[in-house]
Amino acid sequence: MCLTAYGFESYSPRVAYEISRDETELLAALRRGEPKAFEQLVKIHQDRVYGLCLRMMSSRSEAEDLAQEVFITVFKSIDKFRSESRLSTWIYRITRNHCLNRIKFLKRRAAGKKIPLDTAKNMGWGAQTTVDPVASRVQRPDRLVEGRQMEEIIQEQIASLSEDHRELVVLRDLEHLSYEEIQEITGLARGTIKSRLHRARMDLAKRMAPYLSEE
């Protein structure tokens, strides 16, 4: 059983147009300060925001707190959104920044210890997805092992990666975002993303090797 994405679907041009039109109307309502508009925004994006926080932090309580902080930031900063990217991408960028800042804070407080992981079932994993081939012989993390009994181990090893490696594994291999979306979220060049992701996958494969050799 492979790990599944928590995020984006593939949209047809017509659906993309409808989403863009609805997004424009939603943004206008948000900028007018309409409470129902903010409720709608949270309803649309809460699962993806929470899912990214959970995968970055490996802690349900941290993910819940961060998700709330993300939407507070979105609410306060909505006038700064200039529609130069999709609203979802902008929210992902805010979420990613909150997660990285929290990770750094925990390290400074010597609190960045491993926290018991939630079960893979509660994290929304399990369905199979189609993924792009890797231009190397390093296996993707979502192809390393099969079986629910190993999924928590995979997430634990992902959580042990450095922040720059972890975020790319999460965004690309778990959230299945495009390289263009990752560029917009991280501000990294495409070549940097690919080379760093390659190193991250190699690092993760090395960390997983002892568990794989036991089978």
Average pLDDT over every residue of 59-83: 92
Q: Kindly report which listed range (12-16, 178-182, 195-199) carries the lowest average pLDDT score.
A: 12-16
Average pLDDT over every residue of 80-107: 90
Considering the chain, what percentage of its residues have pLDDT values greater than 90?
47
Question: Whole-angstrom Cα distance, residue 170 to residue 36?
Answer: 31
- pLDDT beyond 80 at 1: no
Average pLDDT over every residue of 175-188: 94
pLDDT at 20: 53
pLDDT at 132: 40
Average pLDDT over every residue of 119-142: 43
- pLDDT beyond 90 at 141: no
pLDDT at 114: 53
Average pLDDT over every residue of 88-115: 83
Question: Whole-angstrom Cα distance, residue 24 to residue 57?
Answer: 32
- pLDDT beyond 50 at 18: no
Q: Specify whether the CB–CB gap between 58 and 38 falls below 8 A.
A: no
pLDDT at 13: 32
pLDDT at 71: 95
pLDDT digit string (tens) for 195-205? 999 999 999 99
pLDDT at 137: 43
pLDDT at 170: 94
The two structure tokens encoding residue 106: 């925990």
Q: What one-character-per-residue DSSP string does 87-153 give?
A: HHHHHHHHHHHHHHHHHHHHHHTT-----PPPPTTTTT-------PPPSSSSPPGGGS--SHHHHHH
Question: Whole-angstrom Cα distance, residue 153 to residue 101?
Answer: 24
Count other Cβ atoms within 10 Å, centred on residue 103. Answer: 19
Domains of the chain, earliest start first: 13-108 (1.10.1740.10)
Q: Which residue has the higher pLDDT, 141 or 6?
A: 141
Q: Kindly report which listed range (64-78, 114-128, 161-175) carries the lowest average pLDDT score.
A: 114-128
